[in-house]
Amino acid sequence: MTAAVTTKPTAPAARRSERARLLVQPILVLFLVVGVLGWAFSRDLTATQKGSLNAANIATLTWQHVLITVVVVVIVVIVAVPLGILLTRPGFTKLAPVFIGIANIGQAAPAIGLLVLLFLATGTTGFWIGVLPIAFYSLLPVLRNTILGLQEVNPAVIDAGRGQGMTAGLVLRKVEFPLAVPYILAGLRTSLVLAVGTATLSFLVSAGGLGILIDTGYKLRDNVTLVVGAVLAVALALLVDWCGALAEEFLGPKGLR
């Protein structure tokens, strides 16, 4: 789980190390996956173990995990970015602290608490019972960074835009938003990591995910399954973080890189 907000790295040494990480991380992921699976399958697995540790099951669980992550992030973007934009428009800025406060509580509350509560409250389990609390939990970074990114835009630039006859909407679309994108992407990366990490717990509400391997391994004192589940979860998290880093690096406006 990552900490609250990240701003974009700008110092030259930091950027160089970020670039190095872009190359190293996927290799690390590959190494972990191949390593742990190679280790697990080279052992004599009992029938129970084979029940969990087979290609089909692992693939399914991974897919579930990824799906939860992606849906969470989509929800977060759909909710937090427009909300962030709204809260920086004149007239609404006073509301910003309120929503940030709510999102703050969402982050301070333990993810597991949110999952369990929704489950208990609705009496149901399943995909959405996993996704919604995680989405609420992961809102803050994107919301906060959207607001921050828009606030950071040099007022002189906006002024120039209006001065050239752009409407407020055009200024937002063509000037403010592109300039805020690096911040938003940084927040998005944090959210992604939060989401994929918390999704490890979604098995508790029967929403699937790699966490179930850890749980099974723990309950059955089966260290092999436990380790496989944990390492794969870590690898997936690193992969997702890498995707976030790619987005940060390449989706931002070219002039700002």
Contacting positions for other proteins (CB under 8 A): 1-4, 11-14, 16-17, 21, 105, 107-114, 116-117, 119-121, 193, 196-201, 204, 210-211, 214, 217-218, 223, 226-227, 229-231, 233-234, 237-238, 241
127 CA to centre of own chain: 17
- Least separation in angstroms between CB 35 and other proteins: 13
Are the C-beta atoms of residues 233 and 198 closer than 8 Å to each other?
Answer: no
Longest CA–CA span in the chain (Å) reads: 73
Are the C-beta atoms of residues 206 and 125 closer than 8 Å to each other?
Answer: yes
Torsional class of 5: left (φ above 0), alpha (ψ -120 to 50), beta (otherwise)? beta
- Least separation in angstroms between CB 138 and other proteins: 12
Q: Residue 90 gets which letter from DSSP?
A: T
d(CA 227, CA 247): 30
Start-to-end CA distance of the chain, whole Å, equals 27
- Least separation in angstroms between CB 27 and other proteins: 13
**In terms of residues, how long is the chain?**
257
For other proteins, the closer of residues 96 and 230 by Cβ is 230
d(CA 77, CA 191): 10
- Least separation in angstroms between CB 97 and other proteins: 15
- Least separation in angstroms between CB 112 and other proteins: 5
For other proteins, the closer of residues 140 and 153 by Cβ is 140
For other proteins, the closer of residues 53 and 231 by Cβ is 231
- Least separation in angstroms between CB 159 and other proteins: 28
Q: Residue 251 gets which letter from DSSP?
A: S
For other proteins, the closer of residues 171 and 194 by Cβ is 194
For other proteins, the closer of residues 146 and 202 by Cβ is 202
d(CA 105, CA 141): 12
For other proteins, the closer of residues 124 and 167 by Cβ is 124
